[in-house]
């Protein structure tokens, strides 16, 4: 796969995820969040299992060995994440949802430090602080009074809970899953999550088997095919090609695409959303950027000496 193709796939993945917020906002006007999430991931799981099986084969022994953490990922990261996100989108804008979700990389860093005792650098802490400040601006709509009185929209808070669920989902494999490639982990958790959330929706919601309008069916199918199946496959391809760090930078495009789609749909972008976006994305970029260390004169002089010594040893 050529490098331009990789950039295109990662860019389209970010676009699909940005589009998902608008499709979800539309779908929750007709269906319960549980039913939307159930159908989205049930379809995605049924498609991913054979696709991944054809691409690299399914490691059934590894999936069974890691069944407990995969189930936790399915409950928290597929079930919990989607239910909280879609309930949140009922009460907040898609752009707000995307901006709050952009805090995920910082939350993952914080959880990794707690669960895996990873060292958190000053740069990462500063990035987390910027991200939290950005989210505070977004959820308070730029109102200092709302921030001081802790009066926020319920939708924004639910999306923040969804972001926390996603951060836990992303941290579990690093601590508790062994001997299973990333795409197998994703496929296993999505398939399990689809079964669990659809079973829950069947038992708790009356609309799971009801036929929604065709436009809503198209929205849920698009979220499943583009936002779950194709996006996850292309994301894993991108990580293999350019590395996780470089691929993660494309996550910053998700709120940008969400905002651009909102503008195209005639939605108004507020000053608070623009300021919040700059703080959140700036925080992620600052925490992940690694400045190049300039070579010292001593190091430069040492290079030919080491080379000469190597020749002498030979």
Q: Give the pLDDT confidence score for residue 118 in this predicted structure.
A: 64
d(CA 72, CA 30): 29
d(CA 190, CA 184): 10
Q: Give the pLDDT confidence score for residue 44 in this predicted structure.
A: 95
Q: Give the pLDDT confidence score for residue 260 in this predicted structure.
A: 86
Q: Which of 134, 109, 116, 94 has its CA nearest to residue 262? A: 94
120-135 as b/e: b if 16+ CB within 10 A: eeeebeebbebbbbbb
Q: Give the pLDDT confidence score for residue 289 in this predicted structure.
A: 66
Q: Give the pLDDT confidence score for residue 306 in this predicted structure.
A: 44
CA atoms within 13 A on the CB side of 81: 23
Taking each continuous run of H as one helix and of E as one strand, the counts in the chain are 17, 0
Question: Rounded to an integer, what is the distance from CA 218 to the centroid of its chain?
Answer: 22
pLDDT of the chain, 314 residues: tens digit per residue: 567 888 888 889 989 999 999 999 999 999 999 999 999 999 999 999 999 999 889 999 999 999 999 999 999 999 999 999 999 999 988 888 888 887 787 777 777 777 766 676 777 677 777 777 777 777 676 777 766 665 568 898 999 999 899 888 888 888 889 999 988 999 999 999 999 999 999 999 999 999 999 999 999 999 999 999 998 888 878 877 877 666 766 777 788 888 889 888 988 888 887 887 788 777 767 766 666 555 444 444 444 444 444 444 44
Q: Give the pLDDT confidence score for residue 111 in this predicted structure.
A: 79
Count of other CB atoms within 10 angstroms of residue 270: 15
d(CA 99, CA 245): 20
């Amino acid at each position: 796969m050529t490098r331009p193709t990789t950039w295109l796939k990662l860019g389209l993945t970010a676009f699909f995820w940005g589009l998902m917020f608008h499709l979800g906002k539309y779908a929750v006007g007709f269906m319960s969040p549980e039913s939307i999430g159930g159908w989205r991931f049930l379809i995605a799981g049924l498609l991913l299992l054979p696709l991944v099986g054809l691409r690299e084969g399914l490691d059934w022994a590894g999936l069974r060995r890691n069944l407990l953490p995969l189930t936790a990922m399915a409950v928290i990261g597929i079930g919990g994440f989607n239910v909280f996100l879609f309930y949140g989108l009922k009460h907040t804008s898609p752009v707000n949802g995307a901006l709050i979700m952009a805090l995920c990389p910082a939350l993952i860093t914080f959880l990794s430090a707690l669960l895996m005792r990873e060292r958190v650098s000053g740069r990462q802490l500063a990035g987390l602080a910027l991200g939290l400040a950005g989210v505070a601006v977004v959820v308070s709509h730029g109102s200092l009074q709302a921030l001081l009185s802790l009066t926020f929209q319920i939708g924004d808070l639910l999306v923040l809970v969804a972001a926390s669920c996603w951060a836990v989902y992303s941290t579990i494999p690093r601590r508790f899953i062994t001997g299973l490639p990333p795409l197998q982990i994703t496929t296993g958790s999505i398939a399990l999550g689809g079964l669990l959330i659809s079973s829950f929706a069947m038992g708790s919601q009356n609309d799971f088997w009801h036929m929604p309008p065709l436009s809503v069916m198209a929205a849920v199918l698009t979220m499943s095919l583009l936002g779950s199946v194709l996006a996850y496959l292309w994301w894993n391809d991108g990580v293999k090609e350019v590395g996780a760090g470089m691929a993660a930078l494309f996550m910053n495009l998700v709120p940008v695409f969400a905002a651009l789609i909102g503008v195209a749909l005639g939605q108004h972008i507020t000053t608070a959303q623009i300021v919040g976006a700059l703080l959140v994305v700036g925080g992620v970029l600052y925490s992940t950027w690694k400045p190049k260390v300039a070579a010292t004169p001593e190091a430069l002089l040492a290079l030919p000496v080491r080379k000469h010594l190597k020749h002498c040893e030979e």
